[in-house]
Amino acid sequence: MLQPLAIVFYERLMPGSQLVNRLQDLHYRVLTISNPALLAVTARRESPLVLFVDLDAPGEICGAIEKIKADDHTKHLPIIAFAPDKKAGLLALAQKAGANLVVGETALSGHLEPLLEQALRLD
């Protein structure tokens, strides 16, 4: 059986590695990226089921989200953006850029499965 692919962009070890491990426990193949400039091109090439984006990292992360959502080949991909709970302003920027779900790290770690279900729901 083919495992669905999740792309995870992160630079901070926690929660990034924890998220990768949890996704693997849910039987996802996981491709990690540490350079936001590669996010859009990798999403186009790999056609993942879902993308996770850590907003609390240097680089133009919201620009990468905008690029994914502007591309006809990738605009349908659900993007779950996350940031430290104390940095709610980052979440607003990601939502404006086009992220499907924006959540604090606490919500991500505590509610990963329902968040995945919500992001993957076809409306």
Average predicted confidence (pLDDT) for the chain: 91
Closest-CA residue to 99 (of 51, 41, 39): 51
For the residues 98-110, what does the mean pLDDT come to?
Answer: 90
Greater pLDDT, 11 or 66:
66
| Cα–Cα distance measured from residue 48 to residue 40, given in angstroms and rounded to the nearest whole number | 11
Give per-residue pLDDT as tens, 30-86: 999 999 999 999 999 999 999 999 998 777 899 999 999 999 999 999 999 999 888
Q: How far from each other are the two terminal CA atoms of the chain, in whole angstroms?
A: 26
Among residues 110, 106, 116, 63, the alpha carbon closest in space to that of 83 is found at 106
Q: In angstroms, how far is CA 32 from the centroid of its own chain?
A: 10
pTM for this structure?
0.92
